[in-house]
Amino acid sequence: MTAAIVGLGLIGGSFALDLKATSFYSKITGVDINHENIDVALRLGLIDKAQDLGSAVMNSQLIIIATPVDAALNVLSQIMTMVSDQIILDVGSTKVPIVNAVSGNPKRGRFVATHPIWGTEYKGPAAALQGKLRNHVTVICNSEESDPDALAFAEQMYDSIGMKRIYMGAVEHDLHAAYVSHISHVTSFALALSVLEKEKETNTIFQLAGAGFESTVRLAKSNPDMWTPILQQNRTNILDVLNEQINQLKIFKKLLESEEFGKIYILIQKANEIKKIFDK
C-alpha cells in the first residue's frame, strides 16, 4: 500500500517515518513545493520517491496533507478534483476552515479531518522524529461526515502508529485548541519579544535564564510559516482567550503596584490548581 504525504516538514516527515515502520505501507511518496525539503527527505530515507501532486494522488491509497493550514485549503481543493476512492487526511491545527471548504463536495466522504496533537519548535524534514507521535492524542473532527470505510481506515492508521483517538466537532476543536495550544504560542512569542526589547545583553539572557524561562519561551522558536496562518484562521477564539489573559495580567500588575502580596499569594494558589489536571 502506498501513502502520499503532501508537505515534508516536521509533522509530515515524522508521519513518514512512523508509517514506514508499520506493516501497512510498502511505499511512501512525498510531495513538496520546496525542492530542498524533497532532497533532504530522500537523503534521510523519509520517503521512497517524490512526485507531483497529481501523480501522487493517482498512485496512492492514502493522502496525508501536512502543509501549513492556509496551503492545506488549496491542496485539498485540488485533491478533491482528482480523487476517486482514495482516503485523504489533513493534520492541521485548525479544523473549521478546512471542514467548511469541503462541505457539499460530492467526494466529501473520502476526507477525514484530524489533528494529531504533537510537535516541536523545529521545522523541516531534518527535524522529523520516529516514534514521537506514539501515545499522543489525535482529534478526529466531524467524523459523521466521512464515509465509514474512510473513517475506519484513518482510525486504523492512527492505531498503527500508536496514537490515541478522541472525537469532537470542528467548532468545538478550534475553541479548545485556542485555549490550550494556540494561546501558549502567542504568550511565548510575546514574552520573547518583551525580553528581547528590555534585555539588550544577549549573553546575560543566556547565562541567567533558567529552565523555567527556557521552557516558557521554547515555543517562540516555532515556525512563522506555520503559526501565522493558524492565528489567522482561529483569530476569533484566540482573541477571546487573549483578552482574558490580558485581564489576568492587568490584575497581577495592579496588585504589584499596590503591593497587595497577600492577594497575589491567593492568585498563585488558585493557579496551582492546574496541577490537579496534569497530575491525573
pLDDT at 280: 65
pLDDT computed for residue 206 by the predictor: 63
Q: Could you tell me what percent of the chain has a pLDDT over 90?
A: 82
d(CA 82, CA 174): 28
Give the predicted TM-score (pTM) of the model. Answer: 0.91
Please tell me the distance from the alpha carbon of residue 164 to that of residue 43, in angstroms, as a whole number. 31
**CATH H-level, domain 173-278: superfamily:** 6-phosphogluconate dehydrogenase C-terminal like domain (1.10.3660.10)
- Fold match between 2-169 and 173-278? no
The phi, psi pair for 49, rounded to 5°, reads: -160, 165
Tell me which long-range contacts 141-144 makes (C-beta under 8 A, separation of at least 24): 141/95, 141/99, 141/113, 141/114, 141/115, 141/167, 141/168, 141/169, 141/170, 141/173, 142/95, 142/99, 142/113, 142/169, 142/170, 143/112, 143/167
Based on its alpha-carbon atoms, the radius of gyration of the chain, rounded to whole angstroms, reads 21
How is 114-169 classified by DSSP, letter by letter? EEE----S--SGGG--SSSSTT-EEEEESGGGS-HHHHHHHHHHHHHTT-EEEEE-
Q: How confident is the model over 191-217, as pLDDT tens digits?
A: 889 888 877 766 666 666 666 677 778
Query: Under DSSP, is residue 257 helix (H, G, I), strand (E, B) or coil?
Result: helix
CATH of region 2-169? 3.40.50.720
Give the DSSP per-residue string, 23-63: SS-SEEEEE-S-HHHHHHHHHTTS-SEE--HHHHHHT-SEE
- What per-residue confidence (pLDDT) applies to 188? 92
pLDDT value of residue 209? 62
Check residue 196 and give its pLDDT.
83
What cell numbers appear for 34 in the block?
Answer: 520546496
Q: Give yes or no for a contact between 6 and 65, defined as CB atoms under 8 angstroms apart.
A: yes
Q: Which residue has the cell 523519509?
A: 46
CB neighbours of residue 265 within 10 Å: 11
Kindly list the averaged pLDDT for each block of 10 residues, start to end, along the chain of length 280: 95 95 87 97 96 96 97 97 96 97 96 95 93 96 98 96 97 96 93 82 65 76 94 97 96 97 95 81
List the chain domain ranges: 2-169, 173-278
**What was the pLDDT predicted at 205?**
65
Per-residue pLDDT, 212: 67
The cell 517524490 sits on which residue? 50
**C-alpha distance from residue 144 to each of 92, 152, 176, 214, 223 (Å):** 19, 12, 20, 42, 33
